Chains A and B, each alone.
Chain A
Amino acid sequence: MSRYILQRILYAIPIAFGVSVVCFSLVYLAPGDPLQTVLPPDATAETIEIVKKAYGFDKPLPIQFLIWLGKVVTGDFGMSIATRRPVLDEIIMALSNTGMLAMFAIPTAFTIGFLMGLLAGCFPGKWIDRGVTGTAVFGVSLPNYWLAIVMVIIFAVELSWLPATGMGPKGSAEFSIWRWSDTQFLVLPVITLSMIPIGIISRTTRAAIAEMRNQDFVQTLRAKGLSELAVIRHVIKNALPGVLAVMGLQFGYLLGGSILVETVFTWPGSGFLLSKAIINRDVPVLQGTILTLAIAFVMTNLIIDLLQSMIDPRIRRG
């Protein structure tokens, strides 16, 4: 098992390297200047050259990449061009804010999605199945930025029940989940963020459960006289690896933050940070954030793979 884990961790290194190369190249392929945020709109060519030199952007791209990579290996992600703060501080703050959202959105989405899928899978073709499937399709199809705006209009503007935007009256620095005046800021983003994973997980769970219920071993279990509850327990256990794989992807999605949702709610998370870095071409922040998120994705998938192999030893043997 430990060899399997080590092997998977080693696989993550070329993946992270590949992601950083692609990300670095894409940033430079896109039109625009990484120094746009510090340059006035009518900066002269001479000004641009002097500033490029001061920021180290005058070197050839492969050299820039290697310098960056060398620093990253030692834990130095550089400084944000736009905010002049260390990129690592920016990433840690953004990830912890997104983590706050994910901490509520993940259990919400996974519990509701799984229960809905389970119910639908146990009663295929019945009204409850049709209801759940309809709701799931609705959840997946709704553009979440639209849902976010509509919820803000209803719950913040019209009803004044919940705040519209931001992360508490004093910002994330003084945010506490034990204070309702702060936690109320979580409600609308968490609901918005959970909608798509609820739809996806409920549909996956429904399909997996329905498929398992038609397997021969289920017939055997019933023939042996097991109660329906005991049969369902077996069905769930067998359906779980597939569902877990999807949950892992959704976990990564929620942890990575949503650019659209975080922008609409001005939630200072990783999605919001990424969107600003893209608009400003803040290359150090962009590279650092993407690399961190890519590693987080790889690690999440690794954990899910390990969980799957614990639930279903056949996977490990394979």
Chain B
Amino acid sequence: MTKSNSKRFGATVAVAAGLALAVPQANAQGGGTLVIGMTAGDLPITTGNPDQGFEGYRFVGYNLYDTLIGWDLSQGTKAAELRPGLATEWSIDPNNPKRWIFKLRPGVKWHDGCPFNADDVVWNMSRSTNDKAPEFDPNQFAQARAYLTNFAGVEKIDDLTVAMETKTIDSLFQFNMSYVMMVSRCRAQEVKYNWTDYANRPSGTGPYRFDKATPHQRMEMTPNKEYWDTKRIPKQDRLVLVPMPEASTRTAALLSGQVNWIEAPSPDAVARLKSSGMTIVTNPYPHNWTYQLNFVKGPFTDKRVRQAANYALNRSDMKEMLNGLMLEGYSTVPPSTPYYGKPKMYNYDLAKAKALLKEAGCLPCKVTFAISTSGSGQMQPLPMNELVKSNMEEAGFQVTLQTMDWNALLDITRAGVEKFSEIHGINVSRAAQDPFNALVRHVWSAAAAPKGANWGHYKTPEMDKLIGEIMGEFDTAKRNVLLTQMNEMMNEEAALIFVAHDINPRAMSPKVKGFVQAQSWFQDLTPVTVAP
């Protein structure tokens, strides 16, 4: 060994020894380090509303930041509901049904030490909506836009009260405010609105503080010991997020101990994971895997054809194909949703499907679906679509699958049916986390694409009238009655082809303790510990 090598070796040994001594100190609290293999292709951005779909919200958004209204993720027996966040209470102005009053939580501090107040809320809303303001961030405008289309303005009433106005009467606006992340004005001004710098030093009010990140590889967070919700101060010592888009890579990483939690293991890996002692957790959540249909042109303009397609599906076969990792889908929302009701059930009935097609005079009934090879929430799109095709063809359909990548399918989805009238259905799974996204956007004529997510331009006076009543009803119980009617009406109309609901599978090492899987796209990681 040369002298320099010997020095280097000595230094390495010293560093290794130092690390060995440091580890017990780092784990002094005994909460351990939770390392999560995400399905995301990259680390979500940290400048507020994240990218990478709801996985970005789950692991980065709601951990670094808070929203005015949050989600109660503490239990897994029923669908998650809204709970106070940075706003302790909110209500509609009795004199103006388009004006919401939010009472803000006192004593909250940003991670950078500045106090949270009404000016921060006004500034945050301007950042995402006012392209003339210096704080305007086009990225956040895009990320938050889906929740702020009906937002008209905000005003400060006092240091701890703000009022927001909507363009039209909208009882569901409160749900939108559960997605808009509040970022620190202090930090943004400190970095002179350079959002790249901000991304490296983000500051929120959330239960975790940003510690460090290596681009594309890992992000580390530490508990925010001063979190305002003392019950939700993280119990683990450190949270590490690693993007791993390949399912086989995630599985191998968990089995080899590189991570102790992975999202969405592939169904064929579940047996292997279980045999190695890993825990598989699942729970229904507001997700749907459906086909949105073309109501302008083609066979699905006939209700009988839509019903035939729904009767033709043998959903239990699909569940078996996915090793049980799905809930059979018979409606837009899963049964645990408060406004599920008693929708018309399209249980597998081949004879009925054939009879309906015959009655509609559509034999063979030629339809074309646009599908993707992968994508956010798309589960196992290729085999699932093949099974749907096979089921439907037994009933008398002749199905053509137009397969494309996720990005290309989103292009079709956003543009709407008029630009792609030769397509009769699109297979885009949706988050059904709140009433608007679960039900309204699919069938509201005001949301017809490209203005909204009603891809196939579904439109009936009855449905529009019911949606108007829902938007005007501010009492939760009464609104849920109307939403139940709406869900039942969507089933009666066979407004979609209902196939499956994902059950949110995740696999974790037996060392991971304390996790309660909420019926939500979002999860609370704060109670989790990792045994040594």
Per-residue contact bits, chain B 394-412, to A (CB 8 Å; 1 contact, 0 not): 0000000000111110110
Inside 8 A of B225's CB, which chain A residues have their CB?
A: none
B488 to chain A, nearest CB (A): 24
Say whether A32 contacts B196, CB under 8 Å: no
Per-residue contact bits, chain B 412-430, to A (CB 8 Å; 1 contact, 0 not): 0111000000000000101
Contact pick for A163, options B43, B258, B405, CB 8 Å: B258
If the complex has contacts A51-B141, A164-B258, are A173 and B410 also in contact, measured as CB distance less than 8 A? no
If the complex has contacts A82-B42, A167-B217, are A43 and B414 also in contact, measured as CB distance less than 8 A? yes
Contact pick for B146, options A36, A42, A166, CB 8 Å: A42
A77 to chain B, nearest CB (A): 14
Say whether A84 contacts B142, CB under 8 Å: no
A66 to chain B, nearest CB (A): 22
Cα(A152)–Cα(B255), bound, Å: 11
If the complex has contacts A36-B410, A37-B51, A43-B414, are A50 and B131 also in contact, measured as CB distance less than 8 A? yes
- For residue A153, CB closer than 8 A to chain B, the reply is yes
13 inter-chain pairs at a CB distance below 8 angstroms, sorted by A residue, are A31-B404, A32-B410, A33-B414, A43-B146, A45-B415, A85-B196, A149-B248, A156-B255, A164-B253, A165-B244, A171-B217, A266-B242, A280-B41
Residue of B nearest to A47 (CB): B145
Contact pick for B410, options A33, A93, A156, CB 8 Å: A33
The interface size bin for chain B is: 35 or more
Inside 8 A of A33's CB, which chain B residues have their CB?
A: 407, 410-411, 414
Per-residue contact bits, chain B 248-291, to A (CB 8 Å; 1 contact, 0 not): 11001101111000000000000000000000000000000000
Inside 8 A of A236's CB, which chain B residues have their CB?
A: none
Say whether B12 contacts A179, CB under 8 Å: yes
Residue of B nearest to A158 (CB): B255
Say whether A41 contacts B428, CB under 8 Å: yes
- For residue A309, CB closer than 8 A to chain B, the reply is no
- For residue A8, CB closer than 8 A to chain B, the reply is no
Say whether B252 contacts A50, CB under 8 Å: no
Say whether B256 contacts A160, CB under 8 Å: yes
A165 to chain B, nearest CB (A): 5
Among A18-65, those with CB < 8 Å from B are: 30-33, 35-48, 50-51, 54-55
A79 to chain B, nearest CB (A): 7
Inside 8 A of B257's CB, which chain A residues have their CB?
A: 160
Q: What are the 5 closest A-B residue pairs judged by CB atoms, nearest first?
A: A54-B138, A32-B407, A171-B214, A45-B450, A42-B453
- For residue A110, CB closer than 8 A to chain B, the reply is no
Say whether A38 contacts B139, CB under 8 Å: yes
Say whether A44 contacts B451, CB under 8 Å: yes
The interface size bin for chain A is: 35 or more
Cα(A157)–Cα(B257), bound, Å: 9
Cα(A149)–Cα(B216), bound, Å: 21
Which stretch of A121-129, A271-279, A287-295 is in the interface? A271-279
Contact pick for B256, options A84, A156, A173, A265, CB 8 Å: A156
Beyond A37-B51, A163-B258, A279-B407, 16 additional pairs, beta carbon < 8 A: A38-B143, A39-B414, A40-B142, A40-B145, A42-B413, A42-B452, A44-B450, A48-B414, A54-B138, A83-B42, A84-B45, A84-B196, A157-B255, A157-B256, A173-B214, A264-B249
Cα(A163)–Cα(B244), bound, Å: 14
Cα(A268)–Cα(B244), bound, Å: 11
- For residue A238, CB closer than 8 A to chain B, the reply is no
Residue of A nearest to B35 (CB): A169
- For residue B8, CB closer than 8 A to chain A, the reply is yes
Cα(A280)–Cα(B146), bound, Å: 19
Cα(A50)–Cα(B255), bound, Å: 46
Residue of A nearest to B415 (CB): A45
Residue of B nearest to A33 (CB): B411
Contact pick for B195, options A84, A179, A268, CB 8 Å: A84
- For residue A314, CB closer than 8 A to chain B, the reply is no
- For residue B201, CB closer than 8 A to chain A, the reply is no
Contact pick for B252, options A153, A167, A173, CB 8 Å: A153
State the B residues within 8 Å of A (CB). Answer: 8, 12, 41-43, 45, 47, 51, 131, 138-139, 141-143, 145-146, 149, 195-196, 199, 214-218, 242-246, 248-249, 252-253, 255-258, 376, 404-408, 410-411, 413-415, 428, 430, 441, 449-453
State the A residues within 8 Å of B (CB). Answer: 30-33, 35-48, 50-51, 54-55, 79, 82-86, 90, 93, 149, 152-153, 156-157, 160, 163-167, 170-173, 178-179, 263-266, 268, 272-273, 276, 279-281
If the complex has contacts A33-B411, A51-B142, A93-B215, are A279 and B41 also in contact, measured as CB distance less than 8 A? yes
Say whether B141 contacts A164, CB under 8 Å: no
Inside 8 A of B452's CB, which chain A residues have their CB?
A: 42, 44
Residue of A nearest to B245 (CB): A263
Interface of B is mostly: mixed
Contact pick for A46, options B139, B214, B451, CB 8 Å: B451
Cα(A279)–Cα(B245), bound, Å: 11
A92 to chain B, nearest CB (A): 11
Cα(A90)–Cα(B196), bound, Å: 13
Inside 8 A of A172's CB, which chain B residues have their CB?
A: 214, 217
Say whether A164 contacts B249, CB under 8 Å: yes
Say whether A273 contacts B216, CB under 8 Å: yes
If the complex has contacts A82-B51, A160-B256, A279-B41, are A40 and B146 also in contact, measured as CB distance less than 8 A? yes
Contact pick for A166, options B138, B258, B415, B449, CB 8 Å: B258
Give the interface centre of A51, A85, A166, A281 by most chain B CB atoms within 10 Å: A166
Cα(A178)–Cα(B9), bound, Å: 9
Inside 8 A of B430's CB, which chain A residues have their CB?
A: 41
Residue of B nearest to A152 (CB): B252
Cα(A178)–Cα(B215), bound, Å: 22
Say whether B405 contacts A164, CB under 8 Å: no
B254 to chain A, nearest CB (A): 9
Cα(A44)–Cα(B448), bound, Å: 10
Inside 8 A of B43's CB, which chain A residues have their CB?
A: 83
Inside 8 A of A156's CB, which chain B residues have their CB?
A: 252, 255-256
Say whether A165 contacts B252, CB under 8 Å: yes
Cα(A245)–Cα(B237), bound, Å: 54
Residue of B nearest to A42 (CB): B453
Say whether B218 contacts A31, CB under 8 Å: no
B45 to chain A, nearest CB (A): 6
B378 to chain A, nearest CB (A): 11
Say whether A42 contacts B414, CB under 8 Å: yes
Inside 8 A of B45's CB, which chain A residues have their CB?
A: 82-84
Say whether B411 contacts A31, CB under 8 Å: yes
Cα(A36)–Cα(B246), bound, Å: 20
Say whether A55 contacts B428, CB under 8 Å: no
Contact pick for A276, options B41, B195, B242, B256, CB 8 Å: B41
Cα(A260)–Cα(B242), bound, Å: 19
Inside 8 A of A268's CB, which chain B residues have their CB?
A: 214-217
Inside 8 A of A264's CB, which chain B residues have their CB?
A: 246, 248-249
Cα(A37)–Cα(B143), bound, Å: 9
Inside 8 A of A280's CB, which chain B residues have their CB?
A: 41-42, 407
Residue of B nearest to A281 (CB): B407
